Structure 1
Amino acid sequence: MSIYENFNNSIEARFIKYAKIDTQSDPDSASCPSTLKQKNLGTVLVQELLEMGITDAHMDENGYVYATIPATSKKNVPVICFCSHMDTSPDCSGENVKPIIHTNYQGEDLILPDDQSIIIKLEEHKDLKDQLGNDIITASGTTLLGADNKAGVAEIMEAANFLVKNPEVKHGTIKILFTPDEEIGRGVDKADLKKLAADFAYTIDGETLGSIEDETFSADGATLVVNGVSTHPGFAKGKMESAIKILAEILDSLPKDHLSPETTHKKEGFIHPVGIKGQVEQGEAQFIIRDFTDEKLAEHGRFLEETIKKVMIKYPGSTYQLNIKAQYRNMKQILDQHPKIVQYGIEAIERAGIVAKPQSIRGGTDGSRLSYMGLPCPNIFAGEHAFHSKQEWVSVQDMEKAIQTIINIACIWEENS
């Protein structure tokens, strides 16, 4: 399917509008959404959807936005959902984002004006070489941009607007889902899939133009508590066993040349300590464990416990508890049971005139969880790059291709029904 209109100007303005709304999530908050300000964007989205003529658009008490685009086809077409998350990462400030448009990019390094030490260098951002002549949007140097995932949100909104305005384009029922708190691992915790009533879904939250991701890490989280022996430090000889030092020794015993994020890539997994706290009497460390197969994931968990036991032998007065919990699993195990989902996604990308790039994610998406909740869901590119950082950028032209891809997916499902 060729594109029916030029989205360039509208996607640029829409994305910038959303990027300026602070929606940073908070891992230390127990509420849902974790920050009320995420609802500020949700309110805007609902109003815009209603103005498009999508009459059931609404946001629930937990900050999830739902909407339905009615079918224009008389065929029995599977119900397809498009999903993106509204929150931005807590890793970098998302307050007072000032988007900047660098028109007609010609390969130069992009120096951001509010902090000129922040430079987006061509040699460090390899995908920039494919952006010559395009329009690049960045933040100003003091915040992230929020293309992760407001690019996806804006693209879904543009595609929705197009489908509503062009009822001659044949498609089945389309569902829209915008989620809070994806960046802190809670993106679909309270998603109402019964209300959503979709058969299959696509998250729009990928990076490189043309990418479609049908595989993620499988993920576990681990909590290690060490109970040491505390005594007065002036009289501690032969008695004290500091939980802080025991934890430090355990962390130092983990491999330094493999099995860590900084030493792995492609299909290699890792054990990654992400937090530590404690006193002499008791200390706690948090880990994330990742790999692409459940077997290797379990193997890493066993290796972590073996490492702990080797250290604990030296401290006979101390004890430990290791609790490993599942976080999410590789969505490929589900998607392989429904090959048409990825097949149609690839075709949709190619119809947009770009090369489809099937790949794996060294991470997870809302689609990982959704797939195991009964809604099979690969991930399509949104064009976001260098996410969670002040160097984040997105191409207007890449976003336009993502809109085309979304529309193409809707049409292809109808054609093949």
Structure 2
Amino acid sequence: MGLEKGGMWRNWVGNQYCVSQFRATPETEAEVAELVHEANRRDLAVRVAGSGHSFTPVVGTNGLLLSLERLRGVQSVDKARRQITVAGGTRINEIGRTLKEHGLSLTNQGDIDSQAVAGAFTTGTHGTGITLGNLASSIAGMRLVTASGDVLDIDGTDLDLLHAAQVSVGSLGIISSLTLNVMDAYNLHERLWRDDFETCMERHDELAANHRHFGFFWCPVPESRHLYCLPDTSAVSSTSKTADVCEMKVMDITTAAPMESEFEKIAYSSEVYPIEYVPNFVELEYAVPLEHGKASIRAVRELMLTKHTNCIYPIEYRFTAGDPAWMSPFHKQDSITLSVSGGPGIDYWAFLKDVDTILRGYNSRPHWGKMHFLDTQDVTDLYPRADDFRQLRRSLDPKGRFLNDHLRMLLG
């Protein structure tokens, strides 16, 4: 297939954009390989745009920008092995619908389900659950179109290669398909309520240990919950406060029949995980070692109540188990994730930088698709296998075909 004239690309919230020289929308792995050969002939950098949900400059290129929106769909379902293979551009909600038909479920999900699977999984996206890994931890294999235009089939027999590729931010090659471990279908029982902050902190360990999924949003002012489209849980609140409160959520597997009320819901797993967001924010999110979770949110809460009082977007707080992926935010580290956001029309940069300073004190690592301030040395210091990853990346892509300035600084 030929190259098309490029143009402007923007991410979902509009804080990142690029103008590429060329673009293309391949429908098959063979077409992806053909496009990489053409990029080599023209000496073009190549990046892939998924659904555009990253807040960081991971997509941008002035060379060839690929979209995998036509390379999508569940390609195979192996119910006996509890594995599926999906094309790289498949949306997470498409996977959920197909799995339900086959009596299967994803082990965990985040709270957005319109992301492209290759981009979401390999940037470190996660859900919540103290015993559950991030989405990349379910990757059993993948097929990569490398910088030579050849296809590398990663099938899990070389665990180092698999763990390097699981969270690789598109820097090892173009992911044409992923093989994922899944599980038997299950329903989730979701319950919502409101606590004051100190009650939440007192129950923090208990709720994390006793529920498959637990997370909360801390809202500094009454208007905060509206910014993330959170429901009004005052009717099931343990406190009369409307400010400095935590909007709480637990989810547990259940055999009960489907139902839905204002603050409870029972339904198939992939119909419970996602919530609605209006793309009106720019988010920073770090994985904080679990033992520092409560201290980290206390410090950021104090920052928001005293120094940055115009920053009223909620803090989102979740749990994720450690995993072996080399560049995972959760590499061999059980963690909480703490995210903060800035809104349009507000100069939020100083706020995000102050949060970064606090969370660095706990040796926290960022979600690669969320705002952060890491440089080359930070990556080396925070990720024990960083230099191994860089060496592998150079062996697969010696000319840096799949890098841009942002990734060259971090992973080059």
Greater length-normalized contact order (CA 8 Å, ≥ 6 residues apart): 1
Please tell me whether Structure 1 or Structure 2 has the larger radius of gyration of its CA atoms: 1
Q: Which has the higher strand share?
A: 2
**TM-score w.r.t. structure 2 length?**
0.24
**TM-score w.r.t. structure 1 length?**
0.24
